[in-house]
Amino acid sequence: MEEGPKADAAAFGFPAPVGPGATRVGWIGIGVMGGAMAKHLLAAGFAVTAYARTPAKAESLCRRRDIRAVVLDPATGALACLRPGGLLVDCTSSSPFLSREIAAAAPPQCAMVA
């Protein structure tokens, strides 16, 4: 999946470029329509912080973010615990953007296979 054209962040008053892997999106309302749109944002590689009055509606979105937390959490993530020379194999169906983000975060003395 290729990235689409990026918006000129400065034109909208943003201090940095807007794009997958670089932008966190705040989302309020994850019912039928909002939930589908938030899933598309996650699939495109954006970090999404969502609010729902009914927490159960957020469960499917949280499952889609599991690999990010499991691998990239600075305190308990797999990369934080990976020893020099270690190998991380990612067999999930996460987005290519997330795979690139994980590879970039991997210590140079370790290998990552996606």
* Domain spans, the chain: 1-64, 66-114
Radius of gyration of the chain measured on its C-alpha atoms: 16
Q: What is the mean pLDDT of residues 30-46?
A: 86
What does the alpha-carbon distance between residue 80 and residue 77 come to, in Å, rounded to a whole number? 5
Is the domain defined by 1-64 classed in CATH 3.40.50.620?
no
pTM value?
Answer: 0.49
What does the alpha-carbon distance between residue 63 and residue 60 come to, in Å, rounded to a whole number? 5
The model's pLDDT over 55-70, given as tens digits with 9 standing for 90+, comes to 787 777 776 676 777 7
Distance of CA 105 to the CA centre of its chain: 13
